[in-house]
């Protein structure tokens, strides 16, 4: 296993992190909706075996959160690592959107420590920050709470995970002495949300950068999801690699990335990712490799139904609609075969005010859009297709 420094923390982390949001499940087809259903249960025996085998093979960074698997993820992880807690690093997250008042911060953390059966958490992140949740956290005094839990030793380092545009990301980075951030990053999402600009900004400030969705929820790697045009490009490479290897190696090629999270729910996935990680050194891809990956990204981009570049000039929307997010879900719905996740992300994981249906048709966004997209018309299409 290869390791990298997690920013200014001094911690050495495995470049492959174990994400506990996609653990194997009983009586489930492993759909996205199942992972957030409290009535769908984790296959405990297999999940524990995976986590313990991952540790034996060098993975030391394990990521979970309060709502994963309907609240079952944290207790499962705590049970799995009981015998070697001090040998690994646990990251979990404060569910910012669920907090009703400052008193909830203590309630959540104490419950999470109990769930994880530990007296401390290595990394505690404000979960899913964006324009609105960031404002809410500041108003509730979350930064003062972070100071407190660092002092009392219940948490070793603090950070945040992020879902919004890069301007808000930079504002958050500069607002506090964070140890790490968690962002979505892959060869398709270079300019989406924090993107490469945000990654380099955070790394330049000394933050550890944890990458989520390096395989875009598996869509960049799963057999049956790869469009024929894309697979043809992969097949043309002199050195044969799986789509998963191309995608993960691209993420690790960037020296600013500390670790990339993968949700592994089978021994086969774990072993494949471990083999790929053995080659995941920074700057290890050749110029020809990078050009090939660029061709794949361009091919995907040409499949976009709405040609939104996620530049975010349309934001902020007076009504709070997250326009780039809505268009991304709509494009993904037409680009990939696994469509169920888009219904979940739109109807359950997107705040009501951010959904396309909240558009008031004021037209401000269309005046600012450099691509001259008919945004109002596009948002109507999004809602008509994804609303359930």
Q: What is the pLDDT of residues 39-49, one digit of tens each?
A: 678 999 999 99
Residue 1, token pair as written in the block: 């296993």
Lowest mean pLDDT among 196-205, 218-227, 232-241: 218-227
Lowest mean pLDDT among 31-40, 89-98, 275-284, 292-301: 31-40
Provide the pairing of β-strand 12-14 with 3-5.
antiparallel
CA atoms within 13 A on the CB side of 132: 16
Residue 192, token pair as written in the block: 């989406």
Q: Please state the rounded mean pLDDT for residues 311-326.
A: 87
Q: Please state the rounded mean pLDDT for residues 175-198.
A: 95
Provide the pairing of β-strand 180-184 with 155-162.
parallel
H and E: helices and strands count for the chain: 15, 10
- 89-123: per-residue pLDDT in tens? 999 999 998 999 999 999 999 999 999 999 999 99
Residues 6+ apart with CB under 8 A from 152: none
Judged against a pLDDT cut of 90, whether residue 156 lies above it is answered with yes
Per the CB < 8 A criterion, the answer to whether 161 and 126 are in contact is: yes
Residue 32: the pLDDT is 58
Q: Please state the rounded mean pLDDT for residues 163-167.
A: 89
C-alpha torsion angle, residues 309, 314, 319, 322 (rounded to 10) = 20
Q: Please state the rounded mean pLDDT for residues 233-250.
A: 95
Q: Please state the rounded mean pLDDT for residues 352-379.
A: 91
Judged against a pLDDT cut of 70, whether residue 28 lies above it is answered with no
Residue 34: the pLDDT is 60
In angstroms, the CA 256 to CA 251 distance is 10
The DSSP secondary-structure symbol of 315 reads P
- 5-23: per-residue pLDDT in tens? 999 999 999 999 999 999 9
DSSP 255-283: TT--EEEE---SHHHHHHHHHHHTT--TT
Per the CB < 8 A criterion, the answer to whether 359 and 319 are in contact is: yes
Q: Which domains does the chain have, with CATH numbers?
A: 3-285 (3.20.20.100), 323-386 (no CATH)
H or E element in which residue 171 lies: helix 166-175
What ranges make up the beta strands (E) of 28-69? 61-63
Lowest mean pLDDT among 178-182, 243-247, 369-373: 369-373
Q: How far is CA 3 from CA 59, 128, 255, 282, in A?
A: 9, 26, 12, 11
Per the CB < 8 A criterion, the answer to whether 153 and 110 are in contact is: no
In angstroms, the CA 313 to CA 308 distance is 11
Judged against a pLDDT cut of 80, whether residue 313 lies above it is answered with no
Mean pLDDT over the full length of the chain: 92
Residue 30: the pLDDT is 57
H or E element in which residue 333 lies: helix 323-335
In angstroms, the CA 372 to CA 365 distance is 10
Provide the pairing of β-strand 208-212 with 12-14.
unpaired
User: Does residue 316 or residue 61 have the better pLDDT?
Assistant: 61
Judged against a pLDDT cut of 80, whether residue 382 lies above it is answered with yes
Give φ, ψ of 9 to 5 degrees. -70, -25
Residue 29, token pair as written in the block: 């087809």
User: What's the angle, vertex CA 309, arms to CA 253 and CA 222, rounded to 5?
Assistant: 50
Residue 250: the pLDDT is 98
Residue 52: the pLDDT is 98
DSSP 62-85: EE--TTGGGGTHHHHHHHHTGGGG
Residue 273: the pLDDT is 96
Residue 225: the pLDDT is 76
Lowest mean pLDDT among 228-232, 269-273, 275-279: 228-232
Per the CB < 8 A criterion, the answer to whether 166 and 197 are in contact is: yes
Residue 341: the pLDDT is 79
The DSSP secondary-structure symbol of 154 reads S
Residue 109, token pair as written in the block: 């953390």
Q: Please state the rounded mean pLDDT for residues 236-252.
A: 95
**How far does CA 281 lie from the centroid of its chain?**
21
Say what the pTM is.
Answer: 0.87
Judged against a pLDDT cut of 70, whether residue 36 lies above it is answered with no
Tokens 């300019």 belong to residue: 191
Judged against a pLDDT cut of 60, whether residue 207 lies above it is answered with yes
């Amino acid at each position: 296993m290869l390791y990298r420094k997690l920013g200014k923390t001094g911690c050495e982390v495995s470049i492959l992190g174990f994400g506990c949001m996609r653990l194997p499940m009983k009586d489930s087809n492993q759909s996205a909706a199942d992972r957030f259903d409290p009535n769908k249960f984790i296959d405990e025996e297999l999940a524990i075996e995976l986590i313990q085998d991952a540790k034996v093979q060098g993975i030391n960074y394990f990521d979970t959160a309060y709502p994963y698997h309907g609240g079952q993820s944290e207790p499962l992880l705590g049970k799995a690592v009981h015998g070697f807690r001090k040998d690994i690093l646990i990251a979990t997250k404060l569910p910012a959107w669920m907090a009703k008042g400052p008193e909830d911060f203590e309630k959540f953390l104490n419950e999470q420590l109990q769930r994880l059966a530990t007296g401390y958490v290595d990394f505690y992140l404000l979960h899913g920050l964006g324009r609105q949740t960031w404002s809410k956290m500041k108003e509730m005094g979350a930064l003062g709470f972070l100071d407190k839990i660092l002092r009392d030793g219940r948490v070793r380092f603090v950070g945040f995970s992020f879902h919004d545009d890069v301007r808000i990301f930079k504002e958050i980075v500069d607002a506090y002495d964070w140890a790490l951030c968690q962002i979505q990053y892959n060869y398709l999402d270079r300019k989406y949300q924090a993107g490469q600009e945000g990654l380099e900004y955070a790394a330049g400030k000394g933050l550890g950068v944890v990458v989520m969705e390096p395989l875009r929820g598996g869509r960049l790697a799963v057999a049956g999801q790869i469009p024929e045009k894309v697979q043809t490009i992969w097949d043309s490479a002199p050195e044969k690699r799986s789509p998963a290897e191309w995608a993960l190696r691209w993420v690790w090629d960037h020296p600013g990335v500390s670790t990339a999270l993968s949700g592994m729910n089978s021994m086969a996935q774990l072993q494949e990712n471990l083999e790929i990680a053995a080659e995941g050194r920074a700057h290890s891809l050749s110029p020809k490799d990078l050009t090939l990956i660029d061709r794949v990204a361009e091919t995907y981009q040409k499949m976009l139904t709405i040609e939104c570049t996620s530049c975010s000039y349309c934001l902020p929307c007076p009504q709070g609609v997250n326009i780039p997010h809505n268009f991304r879900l709509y494009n993904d719905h037409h680009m990939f075969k696994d469509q169920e996740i888009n219904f979940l992300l739109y109807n359950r994981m997107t705040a009501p005010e951010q959904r396309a249906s909240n558009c008031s048709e004021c037209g401000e966004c269309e005046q600012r859009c450099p691509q001259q997209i008919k945004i109002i018309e596009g948002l109507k299409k999004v809602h008509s297709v994804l609303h359930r």
